[in-house]
């Protein structure tokens, strides 16, 4: 099999250079920031009542922890996209598996950050109901935390093996990356810190090696293997299909009390909705990676903006998915909807711009592909309609119609990428 590379023009080297440095910086900042956070926000393994009393008396620390964890999740996802683009040669299968694991790890990190913010809100409600809700929430969603968070060190190991297989790093990087997985499951207060240190020791030099390799090659980026291109196109279509299905099956409600009354003591529907939201978040990140790697020269600035919107949007969707589990937990505990008032005060100022970023992802990539002359102006125009409708927070049939329109746009753009002459030349055949 032969990989054909497209050589960028002199002016076209700036975009891959910027992406490379930005991705490497995200990776380094994630490991350093996570190690500091692990010491600053040590988990005392307290019972829910003790934790809620402590948070009620001093909410500043858990509030800061929640936002910092969400920021670290964004840095991690940026690093995953960088490593996914750096593992397209020999051993790309390991890199593709690392990208999948890394995206799932980002979803898990977003859930933990959102849980910290939820705990702050619960601490402002009557203690008995807050404790019952916290216990119900842990029972409904707690099982997700360990496998999703284990995906982060697993991604470190998979990327390390991939980079070694393609000759970018020395052999010792792979076993050090694998040791990060072992350290993360060892008992002890400092196992997570040890895993992060090993991850930095593995992928830190790997990131530097990727920079040196690309600089020596004139910032030429390897072409994506065919299975990755088709997989990315499938993510784009599956993202909107799942979104349509979610809006058809779960119309949503603006009245929290009505939602709780509908749930009662049977939370299964909201648990299913929450799981679908997490699936949408993961596909959102996969779609971002697909479109980001499809525009490398003309229109690459718009693609970079779409990448930022995609990272923020995927974590926003994952965070909001926890609200489905929280509503189900409130229905089980009978604590009422009082938690939504303080939670809204915490989330509303910050998440409104995040929702805007989520809706702009498709618009930015549609503009980038039009700018790159890979498609016409029509999908861009449709994406503007899609984004405008999203700003009114549609529900019911309007929400379904909006997602169907998004599905049309995503399928159109994915088809344009697959049909573009440059993409066909860059596929491994």
Task: Using alpha carbons only, give the angle 12, 97, 109 rounded to the nearest 5 degrees.
Answer: 90
Are residues 204 and 110 both part of a single domain?
yes
Rounded-to-10 torsion of CA 16, 17, 18, 20:
80
Q: Does 422 fall in a domain?
A: yes
Residue range of the domain that includes 74: 14-222
The answer to which of 209-218, 224-233, 314-323, 387-396 has the lowest mean pLDDT is: 387-396
Q: Is residue 9 part of a domain?
A: no
Is the same domain home to 360 and 212?
no
Classify residue 197: in a domain, yes or no: yes
Largest CA-CA distance found in the chain, in angstroms, rounded: 65
Does residue 237 belong to any structural domain of this protein? yes
What average pLDDT does the segment 80-92 reach? 88
Sequence-ordered list of residues with C-beta below 8 angstroms from that of 80, at least 6 positions apart, any chain: 98, 99, 102, 103, 105, 106, 155, 285
258-300, pLDDT tens digit by residue?
667 666 667 788 888 899 999 999 999 999 999 988 887 777 8
Say yes or no: 284 and 406 in one domain: yes
Return all residues near 234 (Cβ < 8 A) that are at least 6 apart.
none
180 in the same domain as 57: yes
In this structure, are 170 and 252 located in the same domain?
Answer: no
SS3 385: helix
229 and 165 share one domain: no
Is residue 205 pLDDT above 50, yes or no? yes
Contact criterion met (CB below 8 Å) for 263 and 270:
yes
Q: How many domains does the chain have?
A: 2
> How long a stretch of residues is the chain?
429
59 pLDDT higher than 70:
yes
**Is residue 8, in this structure, part of any structural domain at all?**
no
- Determine contact, residues 344/138, Cβ cutoff 8 Å: no
Distances (CA, A) of 107 to 77, 315, 391: 9, 7, 24
| Residue 303 domain flag | yes
Determine the Cα–Cα distance for residues 114 and 133; give it in Å rounded to an integer: 15
Average model confidence (pLDDT) for the chain? 84
Structural domain ending residue among the three candidates 222, 251, 284: 222
Domain end marker among 166, 198, 222:
222
Query: Does 7 fall in a domain?
Result: no
Give 7's pLDDT tier (boundaries 50, 70, 90): very low
pLDDT score of 344: 86
Q: Do 218 and 247 share a domain, yes or no?
A: no
Check whether residue 365 and residue 286 sit in a common domain: yes
Average of pLDDT values for 97-107?
Answer: 95
Q: How far apart are CA 194 and CA 180, in angstroms?
A: 7
How large a percentage of the chain has pLDDT more than 90?
38
Q: How confident is the model at residue 356 (pLDDT cuts 50, 70, 90)?
A: confident
Q: Please check the confidence at residue 420 and state whether its pLDDT lies above 80.
A: no
In the predicted structure, residue 83 carries a pLDDT above the cut 90: yes
Distance CA 401, CA 120 (A): 36
Same domain, 242 and 200: no
- Tell which of 194, 222, 250 closes a domain: 222
């Amino acid at each position: 099999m032969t990989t054909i590379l497209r050589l960028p023009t002199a002016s076209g080297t700036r975009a891959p250079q910027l992406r490379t440095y930005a991705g490497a910086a995200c990776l380094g900042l994630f490991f350093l920031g996570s190690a500091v956070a692990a010491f600053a926000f040590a988990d005392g393994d307290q019972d829910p009542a003790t934790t809620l009393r402590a948070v009620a008396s001093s909410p500043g620390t858990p509030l800061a922890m929640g936002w910092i964890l969400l920021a670290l999740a964004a840095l991690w996802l940026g690093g995953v996209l960088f490593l996914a683009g750096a593992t397209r040669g020999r051993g790309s299968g390991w890199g593709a598996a690392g990208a999948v694991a890394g995206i799932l790890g980002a979803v898990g990190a977003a859930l933990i950050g959102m849980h910290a913010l939820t705990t702050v809100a619960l601490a402002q409600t009557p203690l008995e109901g807050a404790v019952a809700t916290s216990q119900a929430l842990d029972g409904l969603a707690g099982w997700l935390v360990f496998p999703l968070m284990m995906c982060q060190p697993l991604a470190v190991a998979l990327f390390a093996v991939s980079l070694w297989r393609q000759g970018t790093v020395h052999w010792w990087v792979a076993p050090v990356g694998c040791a990060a997985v072992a350290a993360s499951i060892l008992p002890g207060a400092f196992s997570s810190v040890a895993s992060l240190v090993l991850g930095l020791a593995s992928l830190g030099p790997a990131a530097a090696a990727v920079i040196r390799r690309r600089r020596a090659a004139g910032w030429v980026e390897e072409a994506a293997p065919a299975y990755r291109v088709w997989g990315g196109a499938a993510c784009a279509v599956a993202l909107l299909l799942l979104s349509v299905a979610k809006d058809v099956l779960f119309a949503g409600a603006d009245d929290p009390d009505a939602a709780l009354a509908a749930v009662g003591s049977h939370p299964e529907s909201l648990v299913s909705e929450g799981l679908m939201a997490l699936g949408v978040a993961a596909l959102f990140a996969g779609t971002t990676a697909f479109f980001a790697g499809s525009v490398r020269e003309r229109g690459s600035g718009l693609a970079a903006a779409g990448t930022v919107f995609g990272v923020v949007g995927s974590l926003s969707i994952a965070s909001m998915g926890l609200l489905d589990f929280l509503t189900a937990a409130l229905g089980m505990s009978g604590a009422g909807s009082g938690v939504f008032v303080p939670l809204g005060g915490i989330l509303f100022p910050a998440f409104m711009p995040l929702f805007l970023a989520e809706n702009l992802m498709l618009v930015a990539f549609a503009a980038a592909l039009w700018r790159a002359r890979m498609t016409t102006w029509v999908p861009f125009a449709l994406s503007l309609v899609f984004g405008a409708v999203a700003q009114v927070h549609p529900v019911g049939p309007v929400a379904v119609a909006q997602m169907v329109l998004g599905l049309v746009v995503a399928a159109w753009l994915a088809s344009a990428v697959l049909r573009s002459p440059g993409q066909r030349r860059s596929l491994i055949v």
